[in-house]
Structure 1
Amino acid sequence: MAPSSSRTNDTLLSLDPGPSDILYRIQRVRGEHSRVLYVTVANPAVIPEDKRTHGRSAIAELSKLDKWSDDWTTLIVHKDNDGIWCEVDKFRPHALPKDVLDDYPAYDISHFETRHSFNHRVSEVVHGGRAYVLKIARFPHEVPALTRELKAYHRLAGSSLAPRLIGYAFEESPDRIVGFLVESIHGRVAGVSDFESCREALHQLHQHLIHGDLCRYNILITSEGPKFIDFENSILSSTKDWSRRRMDAEMQGLAGKLADTSVDGRPWNG
């Protein structure tokens, strides 16, 4: 399809540079329409090394591609002895599996106002005048971990052990869920003095799941008691990976985790 005559503005939202490829997530605004595009550069040599991770520079290089201004959603860029060439819409944009979703509302991710970015995938956003924490899968390889975390929040629904799940976040269409929203909670990072309350809370958590990545930064002390966050490595009870040995090891390691003053496991920047 021929490109629109409307002015196009491309902005780099996310990137994941690797040794054998580079993944880009790009917002394209053309006229009054906004879309999210996904680009896989199958050979990093397509883009000069000093421009691969700089937003404007990467976009400037990609815009030289002969397919760049066409109407597409996903693009694979190759470089071989014959030169640089592209495949258009050879893969579908990623989404969380439909069978993991429950009866929660879905919100358009483009309608959120970002208040603060904790890291590349987690941010505090404002929607409807209220603050929430948004977590997304930017690229396909991040979907399994986000799926595990979402299952944990479903399992903990109605519990005071974790932030409350608010709903799902989609890109462009409600049938393409790429993240979720939880309530934004206020609390401090757990420490040695919180051992007894954290031990009791962890005992309660183990009735539902094993956290899998326990550290003091993943336990916030709130007015309602300890709350756990970051369930990407969680193991639900009654699943094949659950074991009493793992559960006991997590409990036995709690004191050491609370005493650890390093920044290992800190889930946010700043």
Structure 2
Amino acid sequence: MTHADLVTSTLDMEVFSMDVDTLHPNVEESLYRLRVGSQVKYITIEPGTFPSDFLPFPMDLLPLLPHLPPGNWVEARVARDSNGNPTAQPTNTTLPEVREQWHFNRVDALSLPLVQIMTPRVRVVQYASRPVVAKITRFDFEIPRMERETAAYRAIKGCGVGPEFLGHIVEGDRVIGFLIEQLHGRPAGPEDLQGCRDVLQRLHELNIIHGDPNKHNFVVASDGTVTLIDFENAMLCRSAEQKDEELATLPAQLSETTGRGGVALTHLAY
């Protein structure tokens, strides 16, 4: 599977994200999230429409796209017609959004200047004259994780557990993600066991288990303060046994040396 964010542009078209199955290009659809002018569009390319080796490379693919019809449509399918020519047909579907909406602030996705891309869904952006972290859903299958994490931020607000939640990110009328403060520090190690236990127990007191307490999900500030990040796997839980089981994994998690979790999550730590 190949992912990309803000990979290339041609004329007034820019690829923000893509999801391409490079192992099965003639079977699976390829998904693209584009900026076309001042609008964001979603394109689904049906298998066999273009040579498979072009699909992961927007610089090669964009010139092959057929003319995109004007209008305020959001999603279109690209396929070959009865004459063998690629065509783009807008669909009438309404794209789903993140339904967990609780913060008063809403920020347009296109108003956030890029500072750094960290993962396909996470980037550092400029907001209110400072760098912050933006996390989005690129495609609809990512929405459940975003809803779970957004709900977790609502539950921990003001409890000193995670970074400050700054608002929802919108694309048109849809909520597609959120902004949080950028933390500065380092991943936790064995020497930070007590601080990690303390913050994880504060989360448990809210009847929430984290679900992935790896060392990179604990950010240790220069003063020793430990903050939890990445609540995609967080779940409501009243079971004392499950909470104790999660706490019991901490010594092994903090001694981990394989780097598990580090590539995707250090965006908040540095």
Bin for the TM-score computed over the shorter chain: 0.7 to 0.9
Counterpart residue number, 1:74: 75
Q: Say whether residues 1:58 and 2:61 are aligned partners.
A: yes
Shift of 1:9: 1.2
CA shift digits 1:244-268 (9 cap, x unpaired): 4432221111110000011111224
The equivalent residue for 1:198 is 196
**What SS does structure 2 have at the residue aligned with 1:68?**
coil
Alignment of 1:131-170 (within 5 A): 131-170=131-170
Distance in 2 separating the partners of 1:13 and 1:188: 29
Separation in structure 2 between the aligned mates of residue 17 and residue 231 of structure 1, nearest angstrom:
26
Aligned mates of 2:44, 2:197 — CA distance in 1: 45
Which blocks of at least 5 consecutive residues in structure 2 are unaligned?
A: 1-9
Contact 1:160 / 1:224 at 8 angstroms: preserved in 2?
Answer: no
- Paired position in structure 1 for 2:6: none
1:152 alignment partner, SS class:
helix
* SS of corresponding position for 2:205: coil
For residue 108 of structure 1, what is the aligned residue in structure 2? 108
Letter in 1 for 2:97: A
For 1:153, what is the secondary structure of its paired residue? Answer: helix
Cα deviation, 1:8-42, whole Å, max 9, x if unaligned, reads 6111110011341111000011xxxx000001123
Query: 1:122 matched to which residue of 2?
Result: 122
Q: Output the amino acid matched with 1:248.
A: D
- Alpha carbons of structure 1 residues 39 and 125: separation in structure 2 relative to 1, 3 Å: same
Instruction: Kindly indicate whether the alpha-carbon contact (under 8 Å) linking 1:207 and 1:237 is maintained by their aligned counterparts in 2.
Output: no
Supply the AA of the counterpart residue of 1:11.
E
What's 1:256 paired with?
252
Matches within 5 A, 1:6-21: 9-18=12-21, 19=24, 20-21=28-29
Aligned to 2:7: none
Change in Cα spacing, 1:74 to 1:259, as seen in structure 2 (3 Å) is same
RMSD: 2.2
Question: Aligned equivalents of 2:251 and 2:12: distance in 1?
Answer: 51
Deviation of 1:85 after TM superposition, in Å, equals 5.1
Question: Displaced runs of 4+ in structure 1, greater than 4 A?
Answer: 79-86
Q: Quick one: distance in 1 between partners of 2:255 and 2:80?
A: 51
CA contact (8 A) 2:43 2:78 kept: yes
Are the structure 2 counterparts of residues 214 and 142 from structure 1 closer, same or farther at C-alpha, using a change threshold of 3 Å? same
Q: Who is 1:4 aligned against? A: none
Contact 2:162 2:228 in 1 (8 A): yes
Deviation (angstroms), 1:61: 1.9
2:69–2:88 CA contact under 8 A, matched in 1:
no
Letter of the 2:94 partner, please give it: R
Counterparts in 2 of 1:37 and 1:191: CA distance versus 1, 3 Å: same
Q: Which amino acid in the other structure matches residue 250 of structure 1?
A: E
Q: Is the 8 A contact 1:201 1:226 kept in 2?
A: yes
Match of 1:213 in 2: 212
Q: Which whole-Å CA distance do the structure 1 matches of 2:82 and 2:249 have between them? A: 54
Further displaced range: 144-153 or 199-208: 199-208
Residue aligning to 2:180: 182
Aligned to 1:96: 98
CA distance in 1, matches of 2:230, 2:33: 23
Match of 2:3 in 1: none
What's the offset of the Cα at 1:163?
0.1
Contact 1:191/1:216 (<8 A) preserved: yes
SS in structure 2 at match of 1:24:
strand
Greater mean alpha carbon deviation, residues 71-80 or residues 13-22: 71-80
Say if 1:129 and 1:171 are closer, same or farther in 2 by CA, change over 3 A.
same
Structure 2: how far apart are the matches of 1:132 and 1:159?
A: 20
Conserved 8 A contact 2:15-2:33:
yes
The amino acid of 1:94's aligned partner reads P
Is 2:59 the counterpart of 1:48?
no
Listed one character per residue, the Cα deviations across residues 110-135 of structure 1 (whole Å, up to 9, x for unaligned) are 11111111111111111121221100
CA distance in 2, matches of 1:252, 1:153: 24
